[in-house]
Amino acid sequence: MKIGILTSGGDCPGLNSTIRGVCKIAMNHYDMEVYGIYNGFRGLLDDDITRLTDESTTGLLTMGGTILGTSREKLFRKRSSSINDHKSAAMLKTIEKHELDCLVCIGGTGTQKTAFDLMEAGIKVVTIPKTIDNDVWGTDMSFGFDSAVSIASDAIDRLHSTASAHQRVMVIEVMGHKTGWLALYSGMAGGGDIILLPEIPFNIHSIGDTIINRLKKGKPYSIVVVAEGIATPEGKKAAQYIAEEIEYETGFETRETVLGYIQRGGSPTAYDRNIATLMGGHAVELISSGDFGKMVALRDGRIVSVPLAEVKDKLREVTSDHDLIVQGKKMGICFG
């Protein structure tokens, strides 16, 4: 069999580990050929494909980024869920030219939707979820998330010493457009005093009261962790808005820090390397058995698969009854 593999959407730690997992098992165990498609789905449009070898995938386990490159190519019509006919024809032509039997698409929520649409167009696909936001529905965790949590938690740890030295309020903004998984996990792991998520409405007066009450208890500084996607007026950035409002509410000196793309970079954690390897291998198992139209997933500690039809239009959101939120509230942490 001939497998095409691509990485799409934003980069994150573990992409190369996953490519390695797919290639090593496909080549060494099943004697399959694997072709790397460059720059996501754009590579199918541009016929930018090369055959991968065991040698070309050596050293990928610990390497950040993706050797295949990535893009956010828009394959959909603005007012339709179907792929643009011209682009669809171009991709099908590339697949037929290289005699690819199927595609392995590695990416987040947008990639899952595109892969489903390709499946509807008659292309055999298997997907692997990738995101630092951990918002892909159907899997308990995606590779890249643990690495991002580790990076964000380390940053929060470092801000504690600065906040303590200057007796300030420090607001740190982490990624998360629509979901607050990264803010929740890094905020709890980093000892955040206030954690704000897109899924949970917040009251700026309650935040101010929390900070003032901490001062009354002899705690002269506070750490506020916010997801970038929280609701803000006038299009203001999350950390900027919260810092300004806290200063207005409390009169305390407040500083903001935006982590930005540093959360996406660098070598993946050991955990991410392992689940990336497992997910890559399971994708090949699905291909070998002819079980297409599935997304590899981690559920209850096991690597399984779920139908793309169930994944494509859903988002995995944080709920207010999540164990970390329940325990956090008991500890006195404010969630808005």
The pairing of strands 102-107 and 194-196 is: unpaired
Query: How many other C-beta atoms can be found within 10 angstroms of the C-beta atom of residue 287?
Result: 24
**Residue 323 CA to its chain's centroid (Å):** 21
Q: Is position 54 annotated as part of the catalytic site? A: no
Residues 6 or more apart in contact with residue 123 via CB below 8 angstroms: 91, 92, 95, 102, 103
* Helix intervals (H) in 227-301: 238-250, 270-288
Which among 109, 123, 110 is positioned nearest to 44, based on CA atoms?
Answer: 123
Strand arrangement, sheet containing 2-7: 49-52, 33-37, 2-7, 102-107, 125-129, 294-299, 302-307
Options 133, 135, 193, 272, the catalytic residue: 133
Cα 117 to Cα 9, 37, 53, 189: the distances in Å are 16, 18, 29, 38
| Total length of the chain | 336
Which residues are marked as active site? 133
